[in-house]
Structure 1
Amino acid sequence: MYLKNNRIADIVPEVTEWRRWLHQHPELLFDLPQTSRFIADRLREIGVDEIYENVAETGVVAIINGMADGPAVGLRADMDALPIVEATGAEHASQTQGKMHACGHDGHSAMLLGAAKYLAETRNFAGKAVLIFQPAEEGGVGAKAMVDSGLFERLGIHEMYGMHNMPDLAVGEFGLCDGPTLAATDFFYVDIEGVGGHASQPHKCVDPVAAANAIYNGFQSIITRNTDPAKNGLISVTAIQAGEANNVVPQTASMKGTVRNLHEDTRDLIEKRMHEIVAGVEKSHGVKATLHYDRLCPVTVNHSDQVDRAAAAAIQVVGADKVDREQPARLGGEDFSYMLQEHPGAIIFIGNGASAGLHHPEYDFNDEAIPFGIAYWAKIVEDRLALKE
């Protein structure tokens, strides 16, 4: 199998060191000065042909030219961390309190750097490998900002490929599916204002807590009674805040949460019904209630031909029995969706083994996955930009 490539095996120890350095120095959203500088410095040492820095504030894009002319294929890794206190106890744990790489973006970036090193040495392809290191995947829609920069269009990218680690998928295995793969991700915020007062005189008050409860129950009924059961999503209210004292009806209440689904028409229906429910409760309870609905990223939809190509590359790395073409779609969000709206492509999952879940304080990227990720990236480029015999 392709994984037995000796040069890739030789690269792995250095890539592991890079991954652990990135894990120790987590940064958030677009504020990635150390991370982007580290990645750009490694790319210069590797000897890529072109580097574009400060794309969408802190993004980095590198180009490696093959042995002959041809189209351009984009490979994307995300770089940002999360505002979570790490609890792994690892020697390479975060050195910044309150920030950690709890989603494996350190591993994603390190594997793409490893692929850059391999591809810059071998150049066994015809065209351009465009390596994209993206900021702000965790809620900042950095992918959209990079697309909006116009750089990908200027570079003439033909196809786009992404990769994300997946806990509970065994190390050395890959999974992907055709069509909707990851959910549209939206956030919502509800603010309610009533009339506060003494809890012993509720008839003189307008209770925002009761209104919040009615809105909560109304939101839950959308999924069970309004959406198509074959393609519904979820509404998660993740915070409700109101009052402090036992004997006071508060003046205000608020709630927030997230909406996830795999179908854009379902997404439209949910947003519409949420606005209607808030307006109805406002009228029936006599409060002032407002809903702010923030669409972050659309459904991530894999393209059929590129799914075939991604699966074929993965099979060459690990064998057909280790590649699941029918992985279930997941309700996690991914702003790679914006890149797939502009270019045909696919995102594939790489096994992280029996680790803690994504966004968990005990999560850590599994370094044993590194050679599989490097080999996959290399095969995508060599297959999609194959030299003519």
Structure 2
Amino acid sequence: MKRFPKGKIIYCIAFFLILCTAGVMMASVSGFSIESIFSTAKSKGYNDAIFERNGEICWFDYSEGSITILDRGGKYTPVLSPNRSRILYRKSVFETEGNVMQFGIITIDGEFLREIVIDSYLSNDIIGLQWLSDSTVGITTHVNPSTSEFFVYNVDTGEKIASYVGYAFAQIPNTDKIIHAENVPHWSDEPVYHSFVVDGKIVYTSDIIDARLDPPVFSSDGTKFAFVENLPDLEASRRIITGNFDKESLTLKNIRSINIPSEVAGYLTFDESNNICIINNNLLQIYNEKASKFITSEISTDLRNRWSDSKNFAALQTAVTKYWGDDSLERINSITWIPEVKTEQP
């Protein structure tokens, strides 16, 4: 099977894909460059893709227009490693012996490497998978509607490195540290001040009772952090908590809050200049520090190209029809498109 070309990794993951499903793009507005989840189009085109269908991990060769089954047996949610050499997947708890939570690793050639059973008396199913590095993964499991567990495993050895109970889990960039919101009582009337924790140390506690925290995001240089607090007061609704992140002490400093107007909605992130941004479809809303308000601009980029989207999905649909004998993409989930990578000539 065709190997990946060497080069920089740029890819996107779109879950529960149908023809109109969105993925990841790189948008450019006045020097703004950021990953979002609103388009799968890339001006360079694609080489290949991996996806799941009916519990099978599949490989789509774009140039050949062909599909290869890499692994069968109830393998779901394939996620490509940063170095593009291995695939992380989960197994349905209802399809495992004893209804255990199990995930595994195969190579991009479909070679079996390892399967790991998660031993937990709290959780009942796997709800999230991610690579933390080329050799470590983070697995999110379901405990109840307000609580999850997060496990860190070394997939080379199968060793569990750490586990956490709570919600809003995020990896601190360029570290093996996980920041997360502490567990809170489920279906309890007791008021709670929600907190973020790193290695058992509280690094932030909300000053508003029952304000639920979203997973934090970090600037590309790792010096800034931000997250959304969902407030119990419907009139206030939401606010952004932001500040500086100290890489050495793993602490949050100079913390302040920004109220989010009702008309501002979308995905929180930072731009290249460490400005707070919220992206919603083709709108970019950048927080202007001096004016203390969000400035809205329209995202304009040739990467958001529906013709390119249609071209790639049409090629995939043709391959699906040829391989399975139907013309629907609705059964295809967790697709990862791998853009063409051109090697510079010396």
- Taking structure 2 as the reference length, what is the TM-score of the superposition? 0.26
> Which structure carries more strand by proportion?
2
Higher relative contact order (CA 8 A, sep 6+): 1
> Which structure carries more helix by proportion?
1
- Taking structure 1 as the reference length, what is the TM-score of the superposition? 0.24
Which of the two has higher C-alpha Rg?
A: 1
